Amino acid sequence: MRNVVVTGADGFIGSHLTEALLREGCHVKALAQYNSFNNWGWLEGIRNPELEIVTGDVRDPNFCRTLVKGADTVFHLAALIAIPYSYVAPDSYVDTNVKGTLNICQAVKDEGTPRLLVTSTSEVYGTARYVPIDEKHPKQPQSPYSATKIGADAIALSFHNAFDMNVTVVRPFNTYGPRQSARAIIPTIITQIASGIRQIKVGDLSPTRDFNYVEDTCRGFIEIAKCGNASGEEINIATQREVSMETTLKTIARLMDADVEWVVDPQRLRPAGSEVFRLLGSNEKIRRLTGWEPRVSLEEGLRRTIDWICSDDNLKNYKPNIYNR
């Protein structure tokens, strides 16, 4: 693994993965979403002679062929991921998540790229029917977002089955850490407290999640990429530990030494039937194939995330007084 492409490199996980791959000694072609400001998202400020930043759009098949040319490994992370926005703009999610993944798969096939990792999400499982959730758990499309990711996963695996492509579907459970957007619960809580708000607006606090610190998630991607027995596989990246949203809020408040109460904001509640109430992932498969295991505890990861968000340079970029879809 020397010449790699990362799509979605300007985003939360993608930017961290880009930096991790640079530390591994890779030459990284990092895709940022094309925009008229030529803004590179979280890649802004990252300087490395082995980093090549390009702008473009995975929705364009012609661009995708140009993007992957010369790469030995492609990490496909580009996606629309906000669940609430998928309720009002589902067409956009089909275009980016399903068609975009098809375009990357077709480009990898056409160019003969040796290795492709396609990013999934634990949301494809829906509310757990059993725990821990292994890769054989039924898929349950409880939002337009999760439906498009189920479709994208199926497209990727079909290219393995039909064309013997070296494809792996990588399925991180709930990743958090520095640079995460305010649409996620952990930054939402931290930014409200850091801004002096003591009545914290939240949605349903009863669901549980399996939170992965972003550093561990990226290490999982890299270990899977190096694995010689992962072609055609779906692989969870999970801590195999669960925590409720309410406990997460209380832990953050304790770490920030803040006396807070929470208020349920109706617009933050998912529609009936769409809330995923329990996610607890099995990491047996990734441990067996790669030896990966989580290293950063939830409390330590929250401390690091709080420290990063609360710095003046970062807090000013959040909008804690509004609901971020």
CATH 3.90.25.10 fits 181-209+241-279+297-315, yes or no: yes
Q: Tell me the two tokens of residue 277.
A: 């109430």
Find the mean pLDDT for residues 66-93: 97
- DSSP code, position 135: T
Beta bridge partners of 51: 28
Beta bridge partners of 176: 213
Same fold flag, 3-175+212-237 and 181-209+241-279+297-315:
no
Compute the distance between CA of residue 130 and CA of residue 305 in angstroms, rounded to an integer: 30
pLDDT value at 188 more than 80: yes
pLDDT of residue 224: 98
Give which of 106, 227, 99, 119 is closest to 162, Cα–Cα. Answer: 106
Compute the distance between CA of residue 10 and CA of residue 44 in angstroms, rounded to an integer: 8
Please, which pLDDT band fits residue 322 given cuts at 50, 70 and 90?
confident
Q: What percent of the chain has pLDDT over 90?
A: 92
* Domain 3-175+212-237 -> CATH class: alpha beta
pLDDT digits (tens, 9 = 90+) for 270-299: 898 999 999 999 999 999 999 999 999 999
pLDDT of residue 268: 87
Please, which pLDDT band fits residue 321 given cuts at 50, 70 and 90?
confident
pLDDT value at 325 more than 80: no
Q: Is 174 within 8 Å of 212 (Cβ atoms)?
A: yes
Please, which pLDDT band fits residue 61 given cuts at 50, 70 and 90?
very high
Domain ranges of the chain: 3-175+212-237, 181-209+241-279+297-315
Q: What percent of the chain has pLDDT over 70?
A: 100
